[in-house]
Amino acid sequence: MGINTDHTIPPSPTQFEFSLLGRGSAYGESIVLHLGDNKWGIIDTCLNPKTKIPIALEYLNDISVPFNNVVFIISTHWHQDHVTGIASLVEQCKKAEIYLSAALNCAEYKCFIGFNGDIPSQFNPARAFKKLIDYIKKSNRRLKTVVQDKVLFRGQIAGKDLILTALSPNDATINYFQQTQLKELYNITGGIEKSITKPEPNLQSIVSLLTIENFGVLFGADLELTKDAELGWQGVLQSKMISQKASIFKVPHHGSENGFDKDIWNRLLTSNPNLGITPIKTGRTILPNPTMINELLNYASNSHITTNPYTDDAPKHSHDVRRAIKSTKLNIKKLSYKLGHIRFRKDFSACTLLSCELFGTASHLSELVVV
């Protein structure tokens, strides 16, 4: 478990920071980056269910960073555990550029949002998008599309160039998503109100690479492998901007088997890299599964996870609800929403080593007890 409880010490202006934040195994994840000189970036968002505040903003508040110092927000793909509270996040970070996958900028998606954006449901991702659109229209800000090899941010930290580049989605993925996959959005069975599970939004994912001289961090979003040589992770390898291997990797898709390919990872990562993982629990499926926990540990001994999904330390329902659940024999269990925080920092003004700190429920992957 995370040995530190106080994550409120901010980085120095010359310290790069990559913070991976997660709440339990059902709420989502968010990444906070310090890009030098108090400039910050955020990748994806989820809410603290108690405060309804994006967890990235709660962390920035904890280390006394003004939200106007956030220079970009990237929404990697439109899955519930990556987009909750995005309208609020964008509204609070008034100076941030807003990046979305180019796969979403199409007539099919426009129609989808128009039809489904007002359906009241906590599980309706179109509603979150509609809220973002409503805010964007009011604010006169604009959304930026992301395609493979687009430079998303360029700055300096301790006099060294810091560059963040998108490695996906490539043209083939965008076309595939728009022309083939999006059509499945309309295969809605009449009479049933469904949350959207297909097309698999993970394909939209923006994978990005941050480089500072010979140091690299790869953000894998939820991108998966496909059978098509041009799509998914195979498509990432087509990028012309893979200038170096990354020593820190935000593991894609919660450490699932369909995000793991040793050959592809070897081409993108240094040997024994630092891995950051957020777990997920959906029905009977828990990621990473025991097989993948071993695979990941074999691949990288420095693997960390924001919480243990197998020993979810869940809060309890209120007394009345608990009694009623018991007497009606309903099989309901609350899911944990405790914060887990993995923080990497490296000072580029001196030859310092990379530090890794764990807070809250975060732990080394080897500490997971699979029940």
Partner 1 sequence: MIFSDFQVKELDCKDSLLKELNPHVERTILSYNQEDAEDCDAEKQSIFNDIHLNRFKSRNQLINTWEGTVTDVDGKSIFAKLYDTSDGTFDEFEFEFNDLKDSDQNMVKEGALFFLYLGYYTDNRGTKMKSSNIEFRRFPTNLDEDDINEKLDAINALNFDDLWE
> Strand 302-305 and strand 269-277: pairing?
parallel
Q: Minimum CB separation from partner 1 for residue 54, in Å?
A: 14
CB of 10 to partner 1, least distance (A): 29
Site for partner 1 in 38-77 (CB under 8 A): 49-50, 52
151 C-beta neighbours (distance < 10 Å), count = 11
Residue from 5, 64, 138, 142 touching partner 1 (CB under 8 A): that is 142
| Token pair recorded at residue 286 | 């828990």
- Report which DSSP code applies to 336: P
Q: Which is nearer to partner 1, 37 or 193 (CB)?
A: 193
Using the rule CB under 8 A, which residue among 161, 267, 333, 367 binds partner 1?
333
202 φ/ψ angles, rounded to the nearest 5 degrees: -60, -25
Map tokens 């941050």 to a residue.
Answer: 210
End-to-end CA gap in the chain: 16
**Distance from C-alpha of 173 to C-alpha of 208, rounded to nearest angstrom:** 15
Q: Using CA atoms, how far apart are residues 132 and 202, in angstroms rounded to an integer?
A: 20
Task: Spell out the residues 6+ positions from residue 326 whose beta carbon is closer than 8 angstroms to its own.
Answer: none
Interaction between residue 197 and partner 1 (CB under 8 A) = yes
The smaller minimum CB distance to partner 1, of residues 196 and 296, is found at 196
Angle between helices 107-116 and 125-139 (to 10 degrees): 100
Query: Does residue 179 interact with partner 1 by CB under 8 A?
Result: no
Query: Taking CB under 8 A as the rule, does residue 186 contact partner 1?
Result: yes
Segment 267 to 286, residues that bind partner 1, using CB under 8 A? 281-285
Which amino acid appears at position 304 of this protein? H
Is 26 one of the binding residues for partner 1 (CB under 8 A)? yes
**Closer residue to partner 1 (CB): 18 or 78:** 78
Distance CA 17, CA 261 (A): 27
| Tokens at 356, concatenated | 């890794």
Per-residue binding string, partner 1, 86-125, x by CB under 8 A, is: -------------------x-xxxxxxxxx-xxxxxxx--
Interface with partner 1, residue 180, by CB under 8 A: no
Our CB check for partner 1 shows the closer of 103 and 296 to be: 103
> Which residues would be at the binding site for partner 1 (CB under 8 A)?
24, 26-27, 49-50, 52, 105, 107-115, 117-123, 130, 133, 136-137, 142-145, 183, 186-197, 281-285, 315, 317-318, 320-321, 323-325, 327-328, 330-335, 337
